[in-house]
Amino acid sequence: MTDTTSQAGALPAPRIRLHDGHEIPQLGVGVYQVPPPDTAENVETALRIGYRHVDGAQMYENETGVGEGLRRSGVPREDVFLTSKLANGAHRPDDARAAFDRTLEQLGTDHVDLFLVHWPLPTRYDGDFLSTWRVLEELRDSGRARSIGVSNFQVEHLEVLARAGASMPVVNQVECHPYFLNDDVRSWCREHDVVVEAWSPIAQGGVLDDPVVRDVADALGRTPAQVVLRWHLQSGHVVFPKSVTPSRLEENGALFDFELDESQMARISDLDKGEDGRTGPNPDDFDYVG
């Protein structure tokens, strides 16, 4: 991990080096469920506050707004790390290529910094996500996706890629928060130098009333959201909490002048409920294709 970004006006978020040599800001903003008409303003506000990483996806249907917000903010394109993810309905190779072209067009950019397979969909497409992954390798080789990764891949899905001798994803973006540590996937990723991106890092608000989280927050004079996000950062995860409320965007960005000690980290990790803690679908049987 390198120290902080030195761009003017940027939050001092550490950058994590990916195994392909590129770097990713450890903190970003997510735009899942941001209504398309509100997305440009949300992204512009986040960039003005100092976020330099936006986590988007084709299925969020707001990529035009992400591009518009970036341009309105005046922050140079090269200073912002942009992620997109392949729509579930576009896994067939030609569909994936066409969908990626549309993403670049909607974002108004000639490359994304990171492109992910959003879901493995093992019960669709005859269980074949390898040929989809091969398209992402092509996109990376063309330079239009600087880095490529996956999302919601379980250990057995990652092992399909490994056994095929395919490129290893640089990240795996999975559900992860204090109630669902997703330990098997995290361990596999750690061993294979795959960075974990934690989606729903505060469980869409579901962990903020936990008495342990509140107790640690009171001890540090911080909010529950800040404590949980700080726990993620100190655990090595990349996070991009979503909010359309400017004061919460500020709050979620103010993470770099305090620390959890070892026992506070352990108390939060001990909240894990295993599979019962999942808030989203299980990737083994999730089969939504739109």
Judged by the rule CB under 6 A, the positions of this chain that interact with ligand NAD are 30-32, 55, 118, 151-152, 173, 199-205, 208, 225, 240-243, 248, 251-252, 280
Cα(286)–Cα(153) distance, rounded to whole angstroms? Answer: 11
Contact 65/36 with Cβ under 8 angstroms?
Answer: yes
Q: How far is CA 219 from CA 33, 82, 187, 233, in A?
A: 33, 35, 30, 19
Phi, psi of 189 (to 5 degrees): -65, -45
Name the residue nearer to ligand NAD (CB basis): 223 or 262: 223
Q: CA nearest 235: which of 14, 8, 4?
A: 14
Q: Residue 5, CB half-sphere, CA atoms under 13 Å: how many?
A: 25
| Annotation marks residue 60 as catalytic | yes
Contact 112/83 with Cβ under 8 angstroms?
Answer: yes
Q: How far is the CB of 204 from ligand NAD (least distance, A)?
A: 4
Q: Which of 60, 125, 179, 288 is catalytic?
A: 60
Name the residue nearer to ligand NAD (CB basis): 32 or 125: 32
Cα(274)–Cα(123) distance, rounded to whole angstroms? Answer: 23
Name the residue nearer to ligand NAD (CB basis): 138 or 251: 251
Cα(77)–Cα(203) distance, rounded to whole angstroms? Answer: 30
Q: How far is the CB of 156 from ligand NAD (least distance, A)?
A: 18
Residue facing ligand NAD at closest CB distance: 30
Q: Which two tokens stand for residue 177?
A: 């928060």
- Indicate which residues carry an active-site annotation: 60
